[in-house]
Amino acid sequence: MLKLINNENMACILHIETSTEVCSTAISQDGACLYFEENKEGPAHAQLLSSFVQETLSFADSHAIPLDAVAVSCGPGSYTGLRIGVSMAKGVCYGRNVPLIALPTLQVMCVPTLLRNEDLPDDALLCPMIDARRMEVYSCFYNRALREVRPTSADIIDADSYKELLDQHPVFFFGNGADKCKAVLQHPNAHFIANVVPQAKAMFPLAEQRFLRQQFEDTAYFEPFYLKEFVATQSKNPLR
């Protein structure tokens, strides 16, 4: 079960989440989210993120809260969204001289799921899913302690997907990838949780754990976890 760390010396961390169509930032300290900014109206990260980060940092500065680290959701997800988020996180790290924390996006999605569904069976598995177009999803399987049971992969979903795990455990699917799989995965152990998206305000329990363990990234060389290579599409209009 997810445990929130409570420590009087807890760090102040800026959180950045841009892995899907949702753009959000947050500030956490002492095991609590102090400030949160979010837009769910579509992939407009290039236009929104800079002002979101500025407003979030202004909140911390105006309350005399010194920034100790930046946490970024590192993928998988949208290639462009991840690139924008990680670039912004690096810029703040350099500008404020603080370390970088990277969090797997699919694991971040498990945090609100666990906090809102405390009655999940002990043997339940969590399967966050991000839409990867057509019937493909990015997915990973975790137990209730957020230990990885099956690593992140890009899966093409059919009626027999995950049968071995579903035969042994109740599995709870969520995320925008799960929405399109609901009609296909008809196993009696398959359950679906609606309205779960990656959010900056859900990052702080995982980020604060990593901060206390000093699990930081090399800011200069860190790259997002794209999972698949970016494929550029060419316009059919020869004049463009």
Token digits of residue 96: 């404020």
d(CA 31, CA 136): 36
Higher pLDDT: 7 or 58? It is 58
Q: Kindly indicate the confidence band of residue 9, based on its pLDDT and cuts at 50, 70 and 90.
A: low
Q: How far is CA 212 from the centre of its chain?
A: 20
Lowest mean pLDDT among 18-22, 192-196, 199-203, 228-232: 228-232
Q: What is the pTM of this model?
A: 0.90
Query: Hey, what amino acid is at 160?
Result: D
User: Residue 150: which of 135, 134, 166 has the closest Cα?
Assistant: 166
pLDDT tens-digit map of 50-84:
999 999 999 999 999 999 999 999 999 999 999 99
How would residue 229 be classed by pLDDT, with cut points 50, 70 and 90? low
CA distance 59 to 38: 15
